[in-house]
Structure 1
């Protein structure tokens, strides 16, 4: 179920990216003040020099965020897809190598845009190296940034900033990806928390028991970070091209239902309070969401159906099919609109 949850989040984000590209939403329009303004723009050798000289910093921010966001998201999704496929093939060393970049570096960049898009654009234009996650400070600095993100998203009740930072950046913590990802990437490591033991080479001699442990940890924690990533991406998309509420709620129902089922299958040794907090929040949201829509509270069997179809409890099959058909039609209209713009 955890593998399904990870892929559902991946597929939702991939569809979001595809719809945005087909709909031409990742474009920015510059409005000129007058004819002289337009002429100076056309004569400029470098658009970003012109934007800075004319003090159009908001335009610079808009151009850079709408250009960088889909590119970063696409790269993240490629890494996540291949990581999940490698996991399916029991290539866990490859999985952990591929997971590190999206959860540490790519997600850091998206968080930077959420917190302060103007600061992100200024750093990218002048000194991109300042956007490296390792230059952001220690674990406390990461925690503070993530807390700011959660506050902007209104998700403080669902996620723990301390736990997200720990999972992504704390090499010394056994419950974290940083250590195991480094072990997967490097044959030998010297950090005291992950120092290579005598007569060993990291990950090379993993037997079936070790692989099972690596699987168990991966699927007990990666869904938590991917659900958080989905929230970050949706927040950024809201600024560029808001998702229709019906579709957004449908996808949220699927993720929330899968999260409930994921927790029920988790091995007791991997249970953690922040994960229980997330799942409890999702369960309560689903119950309230179903009741407010005029449907009964979901049962266990409803969670399974909802996870893969988005269906409400006792909702007719035809109604679910028609709703999904509307999504496809809306996507087709987006593509047609984008073609007209290009022409």
Structure 2
């Protein structure tokens, strides 16, 4: 059973159901870095037929490469990256949701940027592109999130048919998160939350005699909450489903565990009239 929230602090009642959905989906994402079935992300073992001979100061990962065991090397590195990126995203999202309850929406919009604008790209590139690991390991100037808008669209398109939730469309994900031409994309909204003035993008330009988010009125705060809770549940569901696809494949997990997660999710949505 998941913990049930009873104190919503300053969050208006009209957003309680959506907030509970966000918390539940985040609980399921947290399972990837805390629950027993996914322990293979946190600790890896390597078995050898005979005693190995490491060169002076040689790391076991370097040994694997030297002895033509690159597949095992890549498996370990992939697990390490996924575990770290998922844990990092959870930390940002935990505080973002709590900040929303506290009516600190500048903090919320600032914090949800990294999990979706940046960490999501690392996850997608790691799983969907063939050269990510090689560049990550060998190129000291490699930018894990430095790709074009066209490449972002291609990555999102590649995930659409993998999703269980067919209502989640790649075009919507791009518009909601990355589209620089839309003033309410997450990249633009979080830019406003992070910077007192935004002047480079005409679609995100700070109004005259204004400082981004600082002069929020009661009505504008309600608008920000409405925006947050219309989009964040969908983004968390997408992240959850994508990680399930990638991790169950990477860790070769039993399908029964996947069914248990789906059943828990379906029961939650049914009981809370959420989607």
Assess, with a 3 A threshold, how the Cα gap between structure 1 residues 100 and 68 changes in structure 2: closer, same or farther: same
- Per-residue Cα deviation, 1:64-85 (whole angstroms, up to 9, x for no partner): 1111211111111111111010
CA distance in structure 2 between the partners assigned to 1:199 and 1:71 by the alignment: 42
Question: Are the aligned partners of 1:123 and 1:131 in contact in 2 as well (CA < 8 Å)?
Answer: no
CA distance in structure 2 between the partners assigned to 1:146 and 1:53 by the alignment: 35
Pick one of 176, 186, 209 that aligns with 1:199.
209
Assess, with a 3 A threshold, how the Cα gap between structure 1 residues 137 and 185 changes in structure 2: closer, same or farther: same
Q: Number of paired residues? A: 255
Aligned to 1:240: 251
**Which aligned pairs between 1:214-293 and structure 2 lie closer than 5 A?**
214-238=224-248, 239-240=250-251, 242=253, 244-254=257-267, 256-257=269-270, 261-262=273-274
Q: Could you say which structure has the larger radius of gyration?
A: 1
CA distance in structure 1 between the partners assigned to 2:139 and 2:109 by the alignment: 30
CA distance in structure 1 between the partners assigned to 2:38 and 2:176 by the alignment: 35
Q: Which ranges in structure 2 are unaligned for 5 or more consecutive residues?
A: 1-16
Aligned to 1:13: 29
Question: Are the aligned partners of 1:97 and 1:184 in contact in 2 as well (CA < 8 Å)?
Answer: yes
- Per-residue Cα deviation, 1:41-84 (whole angstroms, up to 9, x for no partner): 46552334333333322122111111121111111111111101
Instruction: Name the TM-score, length of structure 2 as normaliser.
Output: 0.83
CA distance in structure 2 between the partners assigned to 1:142 and 1:223 by the alignment: 21
Q: Is it true that 1:120 corresponds to 2:132 in the alignment?
A: yes
Aligned to 1:183: 192
Q: Which ranges in structure 1 are unaligned for 5 or more consecutive residues?
A: 263-278, 280-343
Aligned to 2:94: 81
Equivalent residue of 1:130, what SS? coil
CA distance in structure 1 between the partners assigned to 2:246 and 2:82 by the alignment: 8
Question: Are the aligned partners of 1:28 and 1:62 in contact in 2 as well (CA < 8 Å)?
Answer: no
Pick one of 172, 187, 201 that aligns with 2:181.
172
Q: Which has the higher helix share?
A: 1
Question: Are the aligned partners of 2:97 and 2:108 in contact in 1 as well (CA < 8 Å)?
Answer: yes
Deviation at 1:210, TM superposition (A): 0.6
CA distance in structure 2 between the partners assigned to 1:228 and 1:115 by the alignment: 16
Assess, with a 3 A threshold, how the Cα gap between structure 1 residues 219 and 253 changes in structure 2: closer, same or farther: same
